[in-house]
Amino acid sequence: MRAFIVERYGNQAGVRAGEMPDPQMGADDVLIQIHAASVNPLDLKIRDGDFKAFLPYRTPFVLGNDLAGVVVKVGVAVTRFAVGDEVYARPDKDRIGTFAELIAVHQDDVAIKPATLTMEEAASLPLVALTAWQALVERADVQPGQKVLIHAGSGGVGTIAIQLAKQLGASVATTTSTANIDLAKALGADVVVDYKKQAFETVLQDYDVVLDPLGGKTLEKSLQVVKPGGMVIGITGPPDPAFARELGANPILRLAMSALSFRTRRHARRHHVTYSFLFMKASGDQLRELTPLVEAGKIRPVVDRVFPFESTREALEYAEKGRTKPGKVVIKITEAPPGS
């Protein structure tokens, strides 16, 4: 099968188009012909080797973390899907590789594609939608009337998290640039802070939850706007001891992760708030929870640009250089059948 392969860690130069063996299937797997995949910051971090400590992919490997496509074969134990089903998924972290024509995914990680979406729109959702769900529903248990701050509201995670938080009944604030204020409001944000003109930590206060996809200084300042007992969830790090335990990391890696987040966790304690690192997991069940919201138009994908498969390197470069407009960059891999 055709694929875009990471031959060596480091940068864009290590990625090339090539041929890889067709995926091997297990009894619980579905083989999916991929019609579209989207680019995430995670792809760039994996390509560059930033996560080698706990995601040690052996080169050469295929990059890509979410997809939409059609089931072309099912394992003998598969009960949820049949050949011809249109599906979307975020494969498990140990089985990535959506920048390719085919992928085998465990049936538990797959869901039927929302009928209202094109393949390209559906491919933009799994990773960011699952991130938003796991942060706001699973981790923070956001309740009606709570105040939620979502940074980078025009980004892949931000555009979905704003909409989900509103569906949960929260009052939502977000940060974005001047050009994207109208979009943030249209997605449902009640308060929009233009980070080019205002420092969010000076105008926001007493928030119950902050979702931060940026890290660094933004994460540090976010601790100041959360009320006592609240939570700041970071999705770019630093990783915390709870994540190390969840990962089953060895003692040395656990110690290293604890050290990386020590300063952040100490500052959080001083503010009487909790810092939590989230590395999202694959979940077909959670995608099935999200699908009705998508089909009802309550959560809509935001797609910036679609690249043809042969331009996958250009798609990665486009995303890496920050030229993206609001939303996701998508790679069209196989032509969808009529009506998809």
pLDDT digits (tens, 9 = 90+) for 290-334: 999 999 999 999 999 999 999 999 999 999 987 557 999 999 998
Residue corresponding to tokens 């892949």: 156
Our count of domains for the chain comes to 2
Q: What is the pLDDT of residues 159-198, one digit of tens each?
A: 999 999 999 999 999 999 999 999 999 999 999 999 999 9
pLDDT at 41: 93
Question: Do 103 and 198 sit in the same domain of this protein?
Answer: no
Residues 6+ apart with CB under 8 A from 137: 164, 168
**What single DSSP character describes residue 47?**
H
Q: Are 9 and 59 in contact (CB under 8 A)?
A: yes
98 within a domain of the structure (yes/no): yes
- In this prediction, residue 336 carries a pLDDT of 53
Give Cβ neighbours of residue 203 (< 8 Å, ≥ 6 apart): 193
Q: Do 104 and 230 lie in a common domain?
A: no
pLDDT for the residue numbered 53: 80
pLDDT, residue 340, reads 46
For residues 107 and 143, state if they share a domain.
no
Residues of the chain below pLDDT 50: 338-340
138 lies in the same domain as 255:
yes
Q: Is the same domain home to 88 and 186?
A: no
Domain that holds residue 191: 127-277
Statement to judge: residues 118 and 148 lie in one domain: no
- If asked whether residues 269 and 321 sit together in one domain, one would say no
